Amino acid sequence: MDSRIEQYHALDAARFARERLGFRPDARQSDLLRRAPRRVLLNCTRQWGKSTVTAARALHKAYFWPRSLTLVVTPGQRQSAEFMTKASAFLRELEIKKRGDGVNAVSILLPNESRIVGLPGNEATVRGFSRVSLLIVDEAARVDDDLFRAVQPMLAVGDGEQWVMSTPFGREGFFYEEWMHGSAEWERVSVTAATCPWIPRKHLDEVRARLGEAWYRQEYFCEFGDAEDALVSWEVLDRMWSAEWPDLGL
């Protein structure tokens, strides 16, 4: 390949995704890939393609940064394997044969010695990694808080990127806390179904009618609602701390 095109691809992950990986990102996805923010929280509707766009980012990092390490944290090994399936499909587009690193069950080793490793959703078994170039946390609202805390020191040496993505799941856990109260170093990106052209209106209407307003707003409009097993709603708790607290409606 022409070295100039290779340089363009190294500098522009969106172009790399389109021209080398066979993935056509939409405008928001292209912007994320092109800018590659250092710390980003993606609060996104179901079916926007957040796993696909981050898999493209993982391949871009691994392909152009020799001996780099990308870690993928998910609630469980099944989700890690699914993420790696997307990354492996992109690898085939690069005409690189997939092989593991020989150590981790869910992993990809590139010819330049870069690795993408999918971690199981267990805090006790993820320690030992260092110099992480890119940390991806998928389905973050369902990842255990202890697991999220356990992987943070892995970014200390090398100051790697961190992409944390999810659809909301109640008003608790690190994803909710970071989104609502986290530091200014996070770039927060919200993508609702209203701006996702490939989710048809008919499907949204059917989901809303069948599963209810609260679930619909959470899954497709990125709203942090009450947990399904909550005894008291957050609306009531908020009112307890307001001038209206005597009239709780219980």
Topology, domain 3-200 = Rossmann fold (3.40.50)
Is the pLDDT assigned to residue 235 strictly greater than 60? no
pTM beyond cutoff 0.75: yes
* pLDDT number for residue 246: 53
Q: By C-alpha distance, which of 31, 25, 45, 36 is closest to 190? A: 45
* pLDDT number for residue 124: 64
Is the pLDDT assigned to residue 249 strictly greater than 70? no
Torsion angle, alpha carbons of 82, 88, 89, 92, to 10? -170
Average pLDDT over residues 229-241: 45
* pLDDT number for residue 135: 96
User: Do 169 and 46 touch, CB atoms closer than 8 A?
Assistant: no
Average pLDDT, the chain: 87
Residue-wise pLDDT for 35-64, tens only, equals 999 999 999 999 898 999 999 999 999 999
pLDDT-derived band at 230 (thresholds 50, 70, 90) equals: very low
* pLDDT number for residue 77: 82
* pLDDT number for residue 206: 92
The domain limits of the chain are: 3-200
Helix ranges (H only) for 94-244 are 145-151, 174-181, 201-211, 213-221, 234-240
Here the tokens at position 151 are 């992987």
Direct distance between the N- and C-terminal alpha carbons of the chain, in angstroms, rounded to an integer: 69
* pLDDT number for residue 86: 94
DSSP code per residue over 9-37? HHH-HHHHHHHHS-----HHHHHHHHH--
Q: By C-alpha distance, which of 180, 166, 159, 168 is closest to 39? A: 159
Residue-wise pLDDT for 190-211, tens only, equals 999 988 888 888 999 998 999 8
* pLDDT number for residue 241: 45
Average pLDDT over residues 143-161: 89
Is the pLDDT assigned to residue 248 strictly greater than 90? no
